[in-house]
Chain A
Amino acid sequence: MMRYSRTCNIFRVWRRFSSISAESVPVTESITNDIFRTNESNPVNHRVEHNSRFYSISEPVKKQFFAGGGLPKEYQSLSETLNGLCIMVRKPAIELIHYLNKTNFDAPVLRYVLYGKTGVGKSLSLAHIVHYGSSAGFVLVHVPWVPKWFQYVKVATPSSVHANKYDQPIEAVEWLKHFSTQNGHLLDKLELKTSNTYTWSKREVTAEGSPLSELIDLGLNRAKYATGCIVALLDELKKAASSKQCRVLVVIDGFNSFFSRKSNVIREDKSMVLPSDFLLTDALLSLTRNDWNNGAVVVSVDPSAHPPELRESPLPRYLLGKTGFEHLDPFVPIEVQNYNDKEFRSQIDYYIERNWLQQPKARTDNGRAELSFTSGKHPYSLMRLVAPY
């Protein structure tokens, strides 16, 4: 680690940049001696040249954006072992960054769908986009893993806001905390205000024109109204974005879970509560509709977000089903594939440099060929292959 920081110090280039119009600033790339790393730690500047290179995310950044989720658990623990979170810059993320930089924010929001087999790198690409979004000045609406809201619901109560829908008080509070951690400073800066009055009960009212942070605080303190707060919050953000007060980036991992037919909540009459019966589903589906502008929606669909019976194909049309597909259509599909040769080589180099691969054979071409063959160049399989357990 010491050697790495020293090399970093030699090559580090300090730059100031405007967060919104990133594309206009020329990029002077600084690459270390190690060809699998890049010093460019601002994702706004990531281009094709940075492909298959690792960029590091500092500890405070990681805590701010991913404390409430967003990084796969195993990857997170591995990064703690390897002494620093590094994410590989790959084609899907670069493609998305390019599109987001070039978006016409006056047009209705574009929906991007990342798809691919389980374990191929979608969540990490989304994490990369989350980091980008914040660096580029977007307000982040980030749902780290949707199935957690439906497969492992702790408590579900009938909604106070909507008659036939269900609340998830604990999950809602958790998410509001995550939202405020990610966006706290930005919200203060933007000074967004509510456009409606929200009456929660006889005594609790959020008046029109009150700052959004008040709405969030109410949700954090009163779990009963947390879900309602989220609905209101997302509604406000949509309006604010459309009226050009802020730019919103919606990032949702496991979007197809909204359209799955299972949850772990069962009513007294033994009937299952479907994801479509939850209020949060409505809120997020409303946000992912293309009836607003000045924002972007990046979503991933994963077979593992569905129960085991529905995991036959990784393709969006199958995973979203008819309702989901019609909801998202038209969208930009972006496939996330297995590692190509360059990315694979770079991943192995990283593991070797971090002393995670300790056999001398790993450094030889034969060893790399063996790893490549046995893992099928599948990112998750490679990680499990070289794991010690």
Chain B
Amino acid sequence: MAALREVLIFNSKCFRGVRSYFCSSPAFQYSSLSPNNASSNVQKLDFEESDTKRISKAMKSYMERAKIHDNFIKEQLHQYNIGKRHLANMMGKDPEFFTQHDVNEAIRYLFPSGLYDPRARPMMKHPDEIYPKRKAAEFDMNGRPFHSLFYTSKPNYYNLLHDLAVKFKQLDNHEDKMIYRGIQDQQASELFLFGTDWVSKESVESVLLESLTDSQYSNLIKTMERFAQHRYAVREKNFIMQFRHQLAAQTEIQKIPELMRDESNRPFTTFSARRKRSNATVKVIGEGTGLISINGEDILYFKRKQDKEQIIFPLEFCNMLGKVDVVATCEGVGMSGRVGSIRLAIAMCLRCFVDAETIERMRLAGLLSYDPRERERKKPGQPGAREKFTWKKR
């Protein structure tokens, strides 16, 4: 994906007529014939002459805009680099080795923000990350587009699909050859796709520098899917992998804590969890008899049946009901929140006592995921979060 992007992003020199990757037909067929030049075979690259005479108003304004944008980006980059050095000086670090991570830390220290959304907080980033990329000039001096598919308005997208079609043909030819030679090549093409998934629409858009509709994106993915299912798709592995991203393994995300031992050599583990403005700290002790203590009281601390069932859920799911002891302390407003936090904490602790298969089952059952639901804010002009006042027609 990165390689593809490099090829597509040009610098400002491009509009002087350097041949692009996507240019399918040679430029000289369409180059303007200068009235002074008699021989049409020679490629005339003196745009300077035709510049002043044939350039249209639209082209002129386009060039101006592109120039302004380029200068702007250059200026921003300059500011950014200077700013980085200033920041390094302020923080007492070496300006040469001041990374983006250091910049973020410095900004967070110098401009502490209480704003909720991370995107609203002050930031200092490389201009490339802030300002969206623009396509290089898509047509030459005379307004003729470089790309043959320019008038589809999404040349890069359709070019990609054409490429796929071409590659499909190539793979089919290869397959025919193999069949002709009698070679039964059992190349498993699914293997190299394992643990990866298709990139998202946003990623594709950022590479192609074109916005896609949902149906266009799904069309692309479907085509790639069919392509990847070809018997000899592995020959185009690099091409396909440009459009696939690695899925992070669950085991890497959640690290299971170690089992500790207490004075009587019983294994135990602790976990703190939150739910809805309440939090709980739970200690699950192995080699137990099913005792439970919540803030010093037994299970009847929770009066409602649903609360007791929430607590029993992870223990019963793992068949650990009479096998472990649970000591929990909880605080916070509301029984439901307390109970939810205790349940999550118990489930997280039980991971240390059960095998990997049960952990996966727990994950699928939703026992190990934090429940992010919070009470929705009441809005002005309404009695509640969603409830509206009685609507009167007149």
Q: Which residues of A contact B (CB under 8 A)?
A: 366, 369-370, 372-376, 378, 381, 385
Contacts of A374 in B (CB 8 A): 299, 305, 308-309, 312
Closest-CB distance, B304 to chain A (whole angstroms): 11
Closest-CB distance, A241 to chain B (whole angstroms): 41
B233 interface residue per 8 A CB criterion = no
The answer on a CB contact under 8 Å between A373 and B321 is yes
Contacts of A370 in B (CB 8 A): 312, 316, 321
Interface centre among A372, A373, A381, A385 (most CB of B within 10 A): A373
Identify B316's interface contact among A366, A378, A385, CB under 8 A: A366
3 tightest Cβ-Cβ pairs between the two chains A and B: A369-B321, A376-B299, A376-B298
Asked, given contacts A374-B299, A381-B300, whether A369 binds B309 with beta carbons under 8 Å apart, the answer is no
Closest-CB distance, B297 to chain A (whole angstroms): 9
The answer on a CB contact under 8 Å between B292 and A373 is yes
The answer on a CB contact under 8 Å between A373 and B300 is no
B209 interface residue per 8 A CB criterion = no
Contacts of A375 in B (CB 8 A): 299
The answer on a CB contact under 8 Å between A372 and B290 is yes
The answer on a CB contact under 8 Å between B309 and A373 is no
A-B contact count (CB 8 A): 31
Q: Which residues of B contact A (CB under 8 A)?
A: 290, 292, 298-300, 305, 308-309, 312, 315-316, 319, 321-322
Contacts of B316 in A (CB 8 A): 366, 370
Give complex CA distance A366, B308 in Å: 16
Interface centre among A369, A370, A375, A381 (most CB of B within 10 A): A369
Identify B305's interface contact among A369, A372, A378, A385, CB under 8 A: A385
Closest-CB distance, B86 to chain A (whole angstroms): 63
Contacts of B298 in A (CB 8 A): 376, 378
Contacts of B308 in A (CB 8 A): 373-374
Residue of A nearest to B290 (CB): A373
Closest-CB distance, B234 to chain A (whole angstroms): 50
* Cβ contacts A to B, 14 pairs, < 8 Å: A366-B319, A366-B321, A369-B321, A370-B316, A370-B321, A373-B308, A374-B308, A374-B309, A376-B292, A376-B299, A376-B300, A378-B298, A378-B300, A385-B305
Contacts of A376 in B (CB 8 A): 292, 298-300
Contacts of A369 in B (CB 8 A): 290, 321-322
Closest-CB distance, A109 to chain B (whole angstroms): 36
Residue of B nearest to A380 (CB): B300
The answer on a CB contact under 8 Å between A373 and B299 is yes
Give complex CA distance A376, B308 in Å: 10
Residue of A nearest to B292 (CB): A373
Closest-CB distance, A368 to chain B (whole angstroms): 9
Give complex CA distance A370, B316 in Å: 8
Contacts of B315 in A (CB 8 A): 373
Give complex CA distance A170, B299 in Å: 42
